[in-house]
Amino acid sequence: MADSSSSRDLRPDLDETINVPEAHAALSSGAPAVEREKSLRENGMEPVTLWLIMVSAVIVLAGGAVMGQGGAFFGYDELVKEGYMRGKSKFGPELPPIPIPALAFLRKEGGKVYSTCNGCHQASGAGQPGSIPPLAGSEWVNGNTEKLLLIIHNGIQGPIEVAGITYSSQMEPMGANYGPKEMAAVMTYIRTSWGNTGDLVSPEMAANGLEISKQRGGGKASSEELKKSHDKMLTGDNWSPDTLIDPETWEPVATEE
């Protein structure tokens, strides 16, 4: 008997005297404790007040009006006037570019162009023994300029003798890369570097040489053709090494006497 009584005491606190529907109805009967539980909300879930909605709507409408009128509220028309002329700078007039002596200028620009030739002829102009002829001390570089321009512009095929050594490798044409200015600069650079003694080449001389190449009809040249038909100096403006050049226009600058 004692065991059966103990087992009944361990059951949940429910027995036949409890009416479950009535207990549930009591929980929803509006008791103060129940109402307090219902009124609790999680943070951030509070309703937005009407005045905040109205203020936000006014701001959005005002911004839309400003954008719709293309910024007229800020008076951009007052900043830009028709016929406006910029006043004199308080720092004085802009200074023109400083003229540079022709030889120094062409060597500077020619060095930039020659950087694409370093792979074959080397930065020292020594070439590669047995395969690429040197530019340093070469009679083709120091000699007449028309044949040198055709070598650079059209390339060369077949054997060529340089400083008593015969080279059989071919040089590809570089004409697509150089205009008159670039051609004059790189020719001047290699004719005055590594102990070479050639004169500088002006852009007009280079332009005349490119016209000769055009009339020739294209194709790589041979050393025989160059010696027979193009062993001459290019014609054109003969700049002295000290002629002052405008670095922006590549034109000689008039000097006051």
Domains of the chain: 102-238 (1.10.760.10)
Residue 158 has pLDDT above 70, yes or no: yes
pLDDT > 90 in the chain, percent = 55
- pLDDT of 8 > 90? The answer is no
Average pLDDT over residues 18-36: 62
Across the chain, mean pLDDT equals: 83
Query: Does 29 have pLDDT greater than 60?
Result: no
Contact by Cβ (8 Å): 178, 113: yes
Query: What's the rounded Cα separation, in Å, for the pair 15 and 130?
Result: 115
Q: For residue 181, what are its two tokens?
A: 């200015």
Return the bridge partners of 162, or none: 165
Mean pLDDT (whole number) for 228-257:
91
Q: Are 135 and 141 in contact (CB under 8 A)?
A: yes
Q: How far is the CA of 180 from the CAs of 110, 187, 204, in angstroms? A: 12, 10, 7
Sign of CA dihedral 128, 130, 136, 141: negative
Q: If you search the block for the tokens 């051609």, which residue do you land on? A: 183
Residue 14: predicted pLDDT = 53
pLDDT digits (tens, 9 = 90+) for 99-150: 999 999 999 999 999 999 999 999 999 999 989 999 999 999 999 999 999 9
Residue among 186, 222, 189 at smallest CA distance from 206: 186
pLDDT tens digits along 180-207: 999 999 999 999 999 999 999 999 999 9
What pLDDT is recorded for position 43? Answer: 61
